[in-house]
Amino acid sequence: MKKRLALMVGATGVLIILVGYMFYVQSIQSGQDTVVSIYQNDENGTPINSPSPIQLVRKAGHRNPFRPEISEYTLLSRNPLGELLPRNNQTVRLRYRSSLTTTELRDRLHDASYWQVGTQNVTTPVFNATQEQTGGRQVGRISTSRDGTYWTKLPISYPNVTLKKPTFIYQNNRLTLFDRNRIYDTTDFHHWHTRRLEFKSNQFTGGQLQTVINTPDARAFVVIRATDRKTQKHQLYYGKWYETQHKIGTLHHLKTGTLNLKSNLTLNRVGAHFYLLQRQGNDVQILKSNQLESSFKKVAKIRLTVNKKHTVNSINLIATKHGQMRLFFNVVDQKKVQLGTYYQEFSSDLKPISQPRKLSADFLWTSFELAENKR
């Protein structure tokens, strides 16, 4: 009887110890911070969202707030995270592909009235739709819009490379990205072919890609900024782009007059005309030409209504309804924090008819270039 009582007391003691240990472990877990790093990449390993990785820092055993779904993308890999956060730190790598078919992606590009190409900083954090731009990795992005006001990122697998100031053309179901001395092209929005872009001419030295521009008759021209061999001054040159041969045709001098070409500028096709835009402080000088081979003439100088301590960049112009035009630009403060992309409405003779408004887009455009889709 005493032995049985001793066994019962012993078993009860062990049970109490086990229960106590379980509560102890649970209390340790609930008080411990768990760090989960989550990478959400497309099929090529390019980050889809910013910043990458997402960092979850919560108490172990608490509810997991992360949801793996991304609009217009399909998750290909298994999500190892449960409803509660784990005890140990983890790195989770999730892989996605576009939920749209190749035909649907082609239709998205074809049906858009406007295209945007640029970069997104996928490294530094985003707070209240602002982002510090000192450092960080920049990846390529393309967006489409029907009205020039609301923009949506094209949900494709982007080339897993760091880009600086990309430009692009879309012809014959082939999407070609240009950046510095490289071109990346694809027909299925997943597999990209990389080629080197050569700038060879007896006219200049130090050629750098400026942009690629479509003409109203659906031809594409590559525009290069370089140093003229004779005058040693910066000049712009343009040459027809031959898609099947992946090369630039004969280069011609772009007649920009006395425009200072040392600083950054933008060349846009707006309807049937071409516009050169150059920032001078927070002013924008605008030149116009009816044809690429004709001389550009100054038509306006616009004063942007932004804080004097802020700077603007990535200035672009598009045509909208009723013959009006819309000017887009990024605003950056003195600490190199991007405050967002803004746009302002102008009349056909470039007189302001609205105040700047903040753009509605699904990510921050670090740098960008706009183009009208001539369908």
User: Mean pLDDT across the chain, nearest whole number?
Assistant: 90
Q: Is the pLDDT of residue 186 over 50?
A: yes
Asked if the peptide bond before residue 53 counts as cis, ω within 30 degrees of 0, the response is yes
Which pLDDT belongs to residue 21? 46
Burial group, residue 332, by CB count within 10 angstroms (0-12, 13-18, 19+): buried
**What is the token pair recorded at 178?**
């240009």
DSSP 348: T
Question: Greatest CA span in the chain, whole angstroms?
Answer: 113
Other Cβ atoms less than 10 A from the Cβ of 35: the count is 13
Burial group, residue 225, by CB count within 10 angstroms (0-12, 13-18, 19+): buried
Mind listing the domains of the chain with CATH numbers? Answer: 33-98 (3.10.20.320), 102-372 (2.115.10.20)
Q: Is the pLDDT of residue 43 over 90?
A: yes
Which pLDDT belongs to residue 4? 54
Q: Are 235 and 227 in contact (CB under 8 A)?
A: yes
Which pLDDT belongs to residue 23? 43
Question: What is the residue-wise DSSP string for 55-105?
Answer: EEEEETTSB-------TTEEE-S-----SB--SS-EEEEEEEEESS-HHHH
DSSP 223: E
Q: Is the pLDDT of residue 19 over 50?
A: no
Distance CA 358, CA 40 (A): 28
pLDDT band at 22 (very low <50, low <70, confident <90, very high): low
**What is the token pair recorded at 264?**
């950054």
Residues 6+ apart with CB under 8 A from 372: 113, 114, 115, 269, 270, 271, 318, 319
Mean pLDDT score, 72-88: 94
